[in-house]
Structure 1
């Protein structure tokens, strides 16, 4: 059955129902003819014959009675022959109707499934090289139209995914190539020097160490993004204590830029992976400090609403253009490439933040105004 085409399977299934219904209707017609016509007529003839045998009329001779009985017997025989003829004609008609009906079902099924064949041919012509092609000829409002629309939506997602993968690979290669190029340039400079000094070696080693550290950071961040295994998410910990530890760790950076951090936390405890969430809020607060103005402020608020913890981090920094807010969570995306590279980082911080938050069944929102500040809000289920 699975080896048959959809048209043939539909014909067989519908044909079986049609055959059963036709046979039942034929049997019903034969039964109705027997009950409503044949039996009443036969019964009437037999009753008349019985009355003829019972009549005693002086004027009727024995020969007349015998002839009348023969006539009655002939009438009964005619009725039976008509009955058999009717049954035979009904069966022949049933066979003709079944054959014609199945042929009609096969033709109608082919016409009904024509859009499926058209859609199948169009799908076969779409590959990773022409994902921009769409199904346009099917505009009906039935199931086929819904299927074509769903397939177009799937192509949209696939196209975006392929473009994202290409962009991700190009950006990752660029991030890995830059420090490697710097290291190679330093080595070539040393090779060109006829008698390099100790200071030249020290300077080259420092540059090599910085580039190596940057490569390690990029690789570790890439592993974090690619790590899909479920973590242990059942730690109960105090958020206030976590933010106190983060602010203490970032205190040297705050002193360097004269940043003031305030914490107002109504959420006492939360359940999740403490190590991963520590990294989430550390990255966000570190960004709030790095991209802030001199003598700026960073405000951290926590509240409970609709059985979820809403934690917001607001800074008075440079802000993010509205047309770029949608892209800041993409790997290696930087609003200001030159300035972001000067501040350090691999461009994967916010991507890691979103990945960890989504693993906790939460979500992250952002609102920003240029030269006024940015607010990130993390919503985690309690």
Structure 2
């Protein structure tokens, strides 16, 4: 486990105290040892004054007494220094442990404002709510400067994302209007009684191109909306949305001779029903359009322990495993389907992933051995109300 900043600070405090204490203990040891050494003339004086007179330094009894005193002094010196090292070492170890604990406490106190910044950043990352701010009110120090920089960054990010979404929405709206006018004019022209066969064929081609452009613009708008965080989440049954979508696509499935099987269990979830309807619609339409005549589609909703799950599987051409992630990228199609407008704009699955991410969900795909795909979408269940809440 990688040590945290708080742990590193605590260990640093303990290490610094241990080094300083060791140096101090060594200095005291040398000082005491030097103090216990005999001074010049004190260990072996030339004579000692006794009641019956001075003892000569060459006296045998005097020499025995001097050696005995020297032995006692060395024993006392050794015991004193050993006691100093034992008691000092124990005290140094205990003090170092206290220093580590104090460093841990100081680290927690000093890093508490940083933890506030981290918690706010984590909430913003999980909820995609760029309107939240740290609003740090502590002392004007380095932490306050960090919090102010983070708040400024959130403000700029929110402004940038809002501008991007407004641009996409406005551009989609402005582009949709002339396309609608073009479709009306072409439709009127091909329905005229004097319209030639060449004019009608040209008109049908223009209508197909116009339809493709309209789908592209609708897809861009849905992608921009899907990337927005869903803040107002309403609880509802996801199986009702899936059943409604399947009823809507029934005619297209019959036209393409695709059989749709449904196994819908009640699955409570929470979110934006309109966006989740678009998610399911894109999955089902993708399964129908990227299929072969006489193919099959299986749509299942089921409740997991911690997720509401929608599974859409279909027959079709084999999909290489290394191509799985590319199908979620905008404008990416498999098998070279770039010119067939009836199969969409290439934004369907990227919109699915954007909507799932906005709901804190996940989308995964895996190829079927028989051909086609199995795409699983997991959405969080509705939050249970806390006791005592309204």
What TM-score do you get using the length of structure 2 for normalisation?
0.48
Q: Which has the higher contact order (CA 8 A, sep 6+)?
A: 2
Q: TM-score, normalised by structure 1?
A: 0.49
